Amino acid sequence: MKFLEYKAKGIFARYGIPVPRGVVASRPEEIRDPPLRAMVKAQVLIGGRGKAGGIRPADGIAEIRDVAGRILGMDIHGYTVRTVYVEERLDIEREMYLSFTIDRSARDTLLIASSMGGVEIEAVPHEQLFMEHVPALVGLHPYVLRALTRALGLEGHLAEKVADIARRSYDLYRAEDAELVEINPLVITKDHRVVAGDAKLVVDDNAEYRHLEYAKLDQDRTPLEEEAHAKGITFVQLDGDIGVIANGAGLTMATLDILNLKGGKGGTFLDLGGTDDPDRVAQAFEILIKAKPSVILLNIFGGITKADTVAQGVKRALDGMHATVPVVARIKGVNEDRAREILKGVGMHSADTIEEAAELAVQVRRGGV
Amino acid sequence: MKFLEYKAKGIFARYGIPVPRGVVASRPEEIRDPPLRAMVKAQVLIGGRGKAGGIRPADGIAEIRDVAGRILGMDIHGYTVRTVYVEERLDIEREMYLSFTIDRSARDTLLIASSMGGVEIEAVPHEQLFMEHVPALVGLHPYVLRALTRALGLEGHLAEKVADIARRSYDLYRAEDAELVEINPLVITKDHRVVAGDAKLVVDDNAEYRHLEYAKLDQDRTPLEEEAHAKGITFVQLDGDIGVIANGAGLTMATLDILNLKGGKGGTFLDLGGTDDPDRVAQAFEILIKAKPSVILLNIFGGITKADTVAQGVKRALDGMHATVPVVARIKGVNEDRAREILKGVGMHSADTIEEAAELAVQVRRGGV
Amino acid sequence: MSRTAVLLTRKTRLLVQGITGHQGTFHTRAMLDYGTKVVAGVRAGKGGTKVEGVSVYDTVREAVATKRANASIVFVPAPFANDAILEAIEGGVGLVVVITERIPFHDALEFVPYARSKGCTIIGPNCPGIISPGQSKAGIMPSHIFSAGDVGVVSRSGTLTYEIVNEMTRAGFGQSTCIGIGGDPIIGTNTVEALALFQKDRATKRIVVVGEIGGTAEEEAAEFIKKHVTKPVVAYVAGRTAPAGKRMGHAGAIIQGTRGTAESKVKAFADAGVPVAEYPRDAAALLGST
Amino acid sequence: MSRTAVLLTRKTRLLVQGITGHQGTFHTRAMLDYGTKVVAGVRAGKGGTKVEGVSVYDTVREAVATKRANASIVFVPAPFANDAILEAIEGGVGLVVVITERIPFHDALEFVPYARSKGCTIIGPNCPGIISPGQSKAGIMPSHIFSAGDVGVVSRSGTLTYEIVNEMTRAGFGQSTCIGIGGDPIIGTNTVEALALFQKDRATKRIVVVGEIGGTAEEEAAEFIKKHVTKPVVAYVAGRTAPAGKRMGHAGAIIQGTRGTAESKVKAFADAGVPVAEYPRDAAALLGST
C-alpha cells in the first residue's frame, strides 16, 4: 500500500515526527487558510514530481489558488493530479535523507541516511550513505542513533532531534508494517527546526488485515487492478494486448516471457493461484475480459488443480459476458481431457506446451488462425 | 526488592489484573469502609502467614477491627506485623497457581502454572505443573496461553480470563523488571470471576534505577541492612557474632565458610567489593561496628586493591567511633606491609593466610589472645 | 536402504499444523500417499480427534512428546501463522515448512532469525514445500511429476517449478531433493543456503536454480556458485518481461528502481559460468550438456 | 610460537568499550602491560583522542573497521551496558567480556540469546574477565598471580579465584586459561559451556571449577563432567554457611527455598567423582593428586 504525501504526513505526525503545516484540496476554491508562504505540491503516487513541474512555490491565497489550479489535472508520468497539498514553505538550511526499509538479503531492517538529501537516494554515492541494520529481535538501540547523528555530522540539539525522529520513524515502520518509511529531504530549517520535507510510506499489502483503516486509500492501481484487488485476484495490467492467465506467479511470469520470445506481448498478468473453483475462475476471467485483450493465453500446469472445473469457470465467464475473444489454452492437470472438451465447445484453441500455446496465440492475434 | 501483598496488588491492578477490593491499616481504628465480609491479612515479607494465624476471616466493622487488632503486632517467623490488609473475602470455587520467574539454567523466563493452587508450589508434584519458557526475544505468544489454559482444564470465558491475566502478568514481569510475579492462589469465584487471591512480586535490585518509585518500599532488610543499602554497601546480617568483611562476594562467602570450619560463626557478610577508597572503607566499617561483633575478621586479597588505603579506612572508622572491637586481619595486595603497620597501630592481629586469620579470630573471641 | 537427501528423508517424522483445514487435510492425505511419515496433526481444540487416520493434538509440544515429530508443515492462515511457527520452533522440531502465503514480512523478520538462533530451519513462507522424491514430501506439489535422481532443485516459485521438473523427469533427470524456498521477500532458507546444502549432499550431483525478478538472491547465488559450488548448475529466471514497480504475484517479485531485474540476474549467472535456460523446458536440456 | 588457549590468545585484538572511564583507563594500561593487543577504545564523543596510547573511536564499527578488533571488553556503566553490548555484537566482534556489574537481568535475557544467535560469545556480566596466562588478558584480575600452565579454571567469583589461583601458581600449577564467568543469574557463558571449551582445548590438561551457592550451575556441571569430560576436575564451592533467602553479594548467589544450596552442589560433584576442596587453598593440593 502506497500513500500520497499528505496522508503519509498525517501518519508521521501521529508518531510525533514534525511535518510542515499544510492543507489539502482537489479544487483551487477548496483551499482555505493555507500557509501564506507556501509550496503547492501535486499528490501523485510517483516520483519525480518536482522536475515535472508538480511542486511550485506560491505566496498569498490568490497565487496559491492560481498555482494549484495549474497543477491540478496535470499529467505526471502517466498519473493525473487529482489532489494538491499546500504546505508551509520551509527556510532550508540543510537537507538530509533518512529511511527504514527491508533488506531482503540480510533478512533485516536497514536504516539508510545521508547528508545528501533532496535527491534520489540511488544517485547518492555509496560512500555518502550511512547504513546500519536494525534487527527486529532487539530493536533500535541508542548506539545506532549515535552512529547515525555522527555520520550526519550533527551535534547537540540537532543531533537529539534527528535521533528522536529516527526513533519515531522506526516505531512507525514496525507498528504500521511498513516496507519503506522515507524522509527525503529531512530538513534543518534556518531557525533550527528539523522537519520532514517529504514523506514516503509503503505498507506491506500482506499486513492489510492489521491496518483495515488503510484499505480504502488511493492506491497505485488502475481501476481494473483495483477491482481485481477487491476480489482478491492477483492481477497486473501490462502494456501489451494478449491476455495472459496462468496458475502460480512464477509460471505466469514465465508464460509472459515465452510469449515475448515468440513475438507476442502480454497485456495482463493474471495469477489464478491454486484455485480450481469455477466461480473464482469465472471472476478472474471477467477481469481479464474487461482488459479487452485481442487473444487470451491460458496456461494451467495443475498437478493437483482440477483442469475441468477451471474450464467450466472459463466457459461460464465467456458465456456470461457474451465475449468473443479467442482463447488459446494449454492445460495440464487432473481431468485435462475433459477440460479440453469443455473449452472446444467455446471455440478454444488447444496446445500441448507453453511454447506452442504462445506461438498459437501470436498467430491468432495476427489473424493467422 | 520485595513487596508487601497490598503494594504488589496495587501494581497488579495497574496492569489490569483483577484483585479483591481491600483497605490497608496500621491500627484497627484506621480501618474505614472495609469490605464487610473480609479476610484480615498480616502484611509481612515472609511466607506461611496463614498457618501462623496471620490471615483470618471477619465480618462487620467491629469484628474486623477486633481481628486486625489481634494480628497487628504479631510475630510471624521473626517478622513483626505492622500493617494489615482487610480484603473482600472471595467465594472460592477453585484455586490455581500462576507465576513468571527467571530460569537461570535455560537463561529464559519460565511460566509455571498448576491447577493445585493455594499451596507452596515446591510441594506440588512435578507432573501437576505446567511449565513453558517465554523467550524475551519474541515474547509471549498465544500458543503458550492456549497450552496454559488447556493444562488448567479451562474453556470458554474462564480460559479467556486466565489467558488475559497471564498476558498482563507477563507484561508486568517485563516492564517492572521482576524476578518473580506470582499469583497463588489464582481464584475462580463461585460467580465465575478470576481474581488474584494473593500477589507476590520481587523486582530485580539491579533495576532499581529504572523504578525509582520503588526505592522507598518496605524491604526484607534489618535496619542496619537498610542503612548499608542506602550507602551502596553490600551487607547481610547473619546470626553469628564474628564480623566478617572481605573484598569480593565469593571471597567473603569463603571466609565465612572457613571461619565456620575453624569453629567460629560469622555475624556479618560484608563485601567491600573492589574499593580501596579509605572513605568507603570507613563507611563499611562503621556499619560493621554497629552490628556489634565480638571480633572483626578482615580478609583482603587485593591484587590491584591498595591495601594501605584500605587500612587507613579501617583505622579512621575505629578511631572515629572509639571502637575497641579487636580486629584480625589478613591482607594481601599492593602496599600490604604499610597496611600492616597502620593496623598494628590500632592493635590489630595479623595473619598470613585466611585459615590462620580465622583460627586467630576464634581464639581472640574466646579470649585466648 | 537409507539414502541421503537434503533436509527431508524417509525418516523425517512430520507433523501438520492446521491439519483440520481444507488444505491441511487434503495434503495430509497426499503426503501419506506419497509415503511421508505424517505422525501427528495439531489444531487447538481438536486434540483427540483424527484426520486421515492421523492423531490430532492440541499443542505442538504434545505432538512432539507423544509422536517424536521432528519436522512440521504449516497450513495455518496468515494471521495465526507467526504463532504457529513460534510454537513449532519452541516445540523443538528442527524443520518448519511454511506453506501459508500472505504472512506480513514483519512477522518473518522475527521468526526467521529466531528459528536460526534455535537451530531450526525454516522453508518458506509462501512456498510449495520440499520433496525428496521416493523418500518423503513435506509440501503441496503434485507427486507424480517427480522422480528420484541426482539433481537438486531450488526454486522461488511453485507451478513454474512443476513445469521444469516435469520436463526433467520426462528427459530422465530425476531429483535428489526439490526445495521451494518461497516467493516472499523474507524467507527462512534462501537460494545460497539451499545451494550450500546441495553442494554438501552426496546424493546431489547437479543443481537447477529457478529464480525470478526481485531482490538479489540470484546475484548472490551466482557469487556463491563461483566461490563454493563445484557441482554443475543450470538456471532459469522468470520475469524477463515484467515491468518495474509492479509486484508480480509474489510479494518478493518486484523490480525496485533498477534493482532486481532479470537482466542483472541472467548476467550474474552467465558471469559465474552458469548456463541460463531461455525457456523453462530448456533447463532439462541444459542439464544434459553439463 | 603460537599456543592454543580457550577464547583468548595472544592474537586476540581487543577493543575497550568505556575506555575513558576510571576503570577502563586503569585496566587498559594493565592489559597493555600484560601484553594484550588492545587495539582500540570506544567512547562516543571522544573519537580521535587517545587513552594510554590507544586510539579512541566513536563507534564499535569504526574501531572494528579501522583496527580489526575481534573482541571487546565492556566497562560501560550498567544503564548503558545493554546498548554497548548490542553495539559490540552488531559490530561483529566474536567475544564480548562484560565487566560491568549490576546490569538488570532482563537486559541479559535479551543480549545473551541475541549474541548466541550471532555467533558471539559473551563472558559475564559482573565478572573479572578472562586470562590466558603468558598470552593475553581481557579482564581486571591482578596479572602477577597467574602463571602459564595446563590447568583450566572456571569460576563464578573474582577475588576468591585470585586466592585459589595464587595458591595454584605457588604450588606450580600454571593455568591455560581462567574464565571468570560472573556472579549474575543470567550469564553469557556458563560453567558447562566453559567445561566444554576446556575439554576440547589441547592446552588444558586439568580443570578447576569454582562454584558458589545459587542456581544449579554446579549440579549441571557435575552431570556434564560425568558424561563428557575426560580430563581430571577438582572443585570448590563457596557459601556452605550462607543462610537461605539472602543474596550474598552476587545477584546470583542466593539459596531459594531448598534450591541452590552448597550441600546439593558438593554432593553433585562428589557423585560425579569430582574432589571438592574444603578450603580454597586445597584446590591446588587436590590437583596434585589428580
Q: Are residues D232 and D275 in the same domain?
A: yes
Q: Are residues C115 and C207 in the same domain?
A: no
B5 grid coordinates? 501483598
* Residue numbers in A near B137 (CB within 8 A): 137-138
- The domain B21-88 having CATH identifier 3.30.1490.20: the answer here is yes
Of B309, B234, B244, B308, whose CA–CA distance to B279 is shortest?
B309
DSSP result, chain D: -PPP-SS--TT-EEEEETTTSHHHHHHHHHHHHHT-EEEEEE-TT-TT-EETTEEEESSHHHHHHHH---EEEE---HHHHHHHHHHHHHHT-SEEEE------HHHHHHHHHHHHHTT-EEE-SSS-EEEETTTEEEE-S-GGG--EEEEEEEES-SHHHHHHHHHHHHTT--EEEEEE--SSSS-SS-HHHHHHHHHH-TT--EEEEEEESSSSHHHHHHHHHHHH--S-EEEEEE-TTPPTT-B-SSTT-B-BTTBT-HHHHHHHHHHTT--EESSTTHHHHHHHT-
Q: How do beta strands B37-42 and B55-59 pair?
A: antiparallel
Mean pLDDT, rounded, for C196-213: 96
A92-212 CATH choice from 3.40.50.2300, 1.20.950.20, 3.30.420.40, 3.30.470.20: 3.30.470.20
CB atoms A138 and B138 under 8 Å: no
Which is catalytic among the residues B85, B97, B170, B214? B97
CB atoms D59 and A146 under 8 Å: yes
How far does C110 lie from chain D, in Å, by closest CA?
Answer: 12
Q: What is the C-alpha to C-alpha distance for residues B179 and B170, in angstroms, rounded to an integer?
A: 11
Does residue C150 lie in a domain region?
yes
CB atoms A304 and C159 under 8 Å: no
Q: Which of residues 116-175 of C touch D (CB under 8 A)?
A: 116-117
Does residue D228 lie in a domain region?
yes
Nearest to C90 among B133, B146, B150 (CB): B133
User: Domain limits at C173?
Assistant: 141-288
CB atoms A150 and D90 under 8 Å: no
Question: What residues of A are annotated to the active site?
Answer: 97, 182
Nearest to B146 among C44, C90, C110 (CB): C44
CB atoms D251 and B248 under 8 Å: no
* Residue numbers in A near D44 (CB within 8 A): 146, 150
| Amino acid found at C57 | Y
| Amino acid found at B19 | V
Q: Best mutation site among A111, A129, A143, A152 for testing chain D: the one with the most D CBs within 10 Å?
A: A143
Q: Are residues D69 and D97 in the same domain?
A: yes
Above 70 in pLDDT, residue C287?
Answer: yes
* Residue numbers in A near B138 (CB within 8 A): 137
How far does D113 lie from chain C, in Å, by closest CA?
Answer: 8
How far does D111 lie from chain C, in Å, by closest CA?
Answer: 12
What's the confidence (pLDDT) of residue C93? 96
Q: Looking at the domain covering A223-365, what would its CATH class be?
A: alpha beta
Q: Are residues D255 and D229 in the same domain?
A: yes
Residue of chain A minimizing CA distance to B136:
A137
CB atoms C106 and A353 under 8 Å: no
Kindly report the pTM of this predicted structure: 0.93
SS (H, E, C) chain C: CCCCCCCCCCCCEEEEECCCCHHHHHHHHHHHHHCCEEEEEECCCCCCCEECCEEEECCHHHHHHHHCCCEEEECCCHHHHHHHHHHHHHHCCCEEEECCCCCCHHHHHHHHHHHHHCCCEEECCCCCEEEECCCEEEECCCHHHCCEEEEEEEECCCHHHHHHHHHHHHCCCCEEEEEECCCCCCCCCCHHHHHHHHHHCCCCCEEEEEEECCCCHHHHHHHHHHHHCCCCEEEEEECCCCCCCCECCCCCCECECCECCHHHHHHHHHHCCCCEECCCCHHHHHHHCC
φ and ψ at residue A295, rounded to 5 degrees: -145, 150
- CB-defined contacts B:D, below 8 A: 164
Q: Are residues D192 and D54 in the same domain?
A: no
| % of chain C residues with pLDDT over 90 | 90
Q: Which of residues 89-128 of C touch B (CB under 8 A)?
A: 90, 110-111, 114, 117
Q: What is the C-alpha to C-alpha distance for residues C282 and C279, in angstroms, rounded to an integer?
A: 5
Cβ proximity of A333 and A302 under 8 Å: yes
- pLDDT tens for D235-253 read 999 999 999 888 998 988 9
Cβ proximity of B272 and B247 under 8 Å: yes
Q: What is the C-alpha to C-alpha distance for residues A267 and A295, in angstroms, rounded to an integer?
A: 10
Does residue D130 lie in a domain region?
no
Cβ proximity of D207 and D235 under 8 Å: no
What are the mean pLDDT values of chain D's consecutive 10-residue runs (290 residues total)?
74 97 96 97 95 97 96 97 98 97 97 96 97 96 95 95 95 96 96 97 96 96 97 96 91 87 96 96 88
A140 grid coordinates? 533500535
* Residue numbers in C near B142 (CB within 8 A): 80, 83
- Count of structural domains, chain D: 2
Residue of chain D minimizing CA distance to B332:
D163
Among the candidates D123, D150, D169, a domain finishes at: D123
Q: Are residues D101 and D167 in the same domain?
A: no
CB atoms A142 and D110 under 8 Å: no
Q: What is the C-alpha to C-alpha distance for residues D235 and D219, in angstroms, rounded to an integer?
A: 12
Q: What is the C-alpha to C-alpha distance for residues D142 and D158, in angstroms, rounded to an integer?
A: 10
Interface of B with C (CB under 8 A): 132-133, 135, 137-138, 141-143, 146-147, 150
Among the candidates C77, C94, C123, a domain finishes at: C123
Decide if D142 touches B, using CB distance below 8 A: yes
Residue of chain B minimizing CA distance to C111:
B138
B223 grid coordinates? 535496619
Contacts of C95 (CB under 8 A, 6+ apart): C7, C8, C12, C70, C71, C72, C120, C121, C123, C138
CB atoms C113 and D113 under 8 Å: no
Decide if C263 touches B, using CB distance below 8 A: no
Neighbours of chain A (3+ CB pairs under 8 A): B, C, D
Among the candidates D123, D150, D175, a domain finishes at: D123
What's the confidence (pLDDT) of residue A162? 98
C41 grid coordinates? 496433526
Q: How far is CA B197 from the centre of its chain?
A: 21
- Given CA atoms B91, B94, B95, B98 in this order, what sign does their dihedral have? negative
Does residue C212 lie in a domain region?
yes
Identify the H or E element spanning A142. Answer: helix A142-151
Cβ proximity of C213 and C129 under 8 Å: no
CATH of the domain at D31: 3.40.50.720
What's the confidence (pLDDT) of residue B193? 97
Q: Are residues C149 and C242 in the same domain?
A: yes
What's the confidence (pLDDT) of residue C1? 40
3 state DSSP class of B114: strand
Q: Which residue has the cell 483483577?
A: B18
B327 grid coordinates? 580486629
b/e string for C240-253 if b means 16 or more Cβ within 10 A?
bbbeeebbbbbbbb
What's the confidence (pLDDT) of residue D2? 47
| Amino acid found at B87 | E
Q: Is A29 exposed, middle or buried (0-12, 13-18, 19+ CB in 10 A)?
A: exposed
Q: How far is CA B334 from the centre of its chain?
A: 36
CB atoms C157 and A104 under 8 Å: no
Interface of B with A (CB under 8 A): 137-138
How far does B273 lie from chain D, in Å, by closest CA?
Answer: 9
CB atoms D160 and B269 under 8 Å: no
CB atoms B138 and C114 under 8 Å: yes
Nearest to C163 among A109, A207, A301 (CB): A301
Does C228 participate in catalysis according to the annotation? Answer: no
Give me the residues of chain B with pLDDT under 50, please: none
Q: How far is CA C253 from the centre of its chain?
A: 16
| Amino acid found at A255 | T
DSSP result, A59-86: EHHHHHHHHHHHHTT-EETTEE---EEE
pLDDT tens over chain A, length 369 residues = 899 999 999 999 999 999 999 999 999 999 999 999 999 999 998 888 988 999 999 999 999 999 999 999 999 988 899 999 999 999 999 999 999 999 999 999 999 999 999 888 888 998 999 999 999 999 999 999 999 999 999 999 999 999 999 999 999 999 999 999 999 999 999 999 999 999 999 999 999 999 998 877 767 788 899 899 989 899 999 999 999 999 999 999 999 999 999 999 999 999 998 888 889 999 999 999 999 999 999 999 877 788 888 889 988 988 888 888 999 999 988 888 898 889 888 888 999 999 999 999 999 998 866
How far does A320 lie from chain C, in Å, by closest CA?
Answer: 27
Nearest to D59 among A137, A141, A143 (CB): A143
Decide if C146 touches B, using CB distance below 8 A: no
Decide if C87 touches B, using CB distance below 8 A: yes
Above 90 in pLDDT, residue C6?
Answer: no
Cβ atoms < 10 Å from Cβ of C78: 17
What's the confidence (pLDDT) of residue D272? 97
Q: Are residues D179 and D282 in the same domain?
A: yes
| Amino acid found at C79 | P
What's the confidence (pLDDT) of residue D210? 97
Mean pLDDT, rounded, for C208-227: 96
How big is the CA angle at A47 (ends A9 and A292), to the nearest 5 degrees?
110
Which is catalytic among the residues B5, B182, B286, B336? B182
Q: What is the C-alpha to C-alpha distance for residues A278 and A338, in angstroms, rounded to an integer?
A: 14
Q: Are residues C184 and C259 in the same domain?
A: yes
Q: Give the domain ranges of chain A.
A: 21-88, 92-212, 223-365
Nearest to A150 among D59, D83, D110 (CB): D59
* Residue numbers in C near B147 (CB within 8 A): 58-59, 61
* Residue numbers in C near D117 (CB within 8 A): 113-114, 116-117
Above 90 in pLDDT, residue C142?
Answer: yes
Residue of chain D minimizing CA distance to C117:
D117
| Amino acid found at D182 | G
Q: Are residues D146 and D283 in the same domain?
A: yes
What's the confidence (pLDDT) of residue A274? 80
Contacts of A25 (CB under 8 A, 6+ apart): A31, A68, A83, A84, A86
CB atoms C213 and A253 under 8 Å: yes
Decide if C58 touches B, using CB distance below 8 A: yes
| ipTM rounded to 2 decimals | 0.92
Q: Best mutation site among D76, D83, D120 for testing chain A: the one with the most A CBs within 10 Å?
A: D83
Residue of chain C minimizing CA distance to B134:
C90
DSSP result, A153-168: T--HHHHHHHHHHHHH
Q: Are residues D235 and D110 in the same domain?
A: no
Q: What is the C-alpha to C-alpha distance for residues D164 and C247, in angstroms, rounded to an integer?
A: 66
Residue of chain C minimizing CA distance to D117:
C117
CB atoms B138 and C59 under 8 Å: no
How far does C110 lie from chain A, in Å, by closest CA?
Answer: 6
Q: Are residues C109 and C203 in the same domain?
A: no
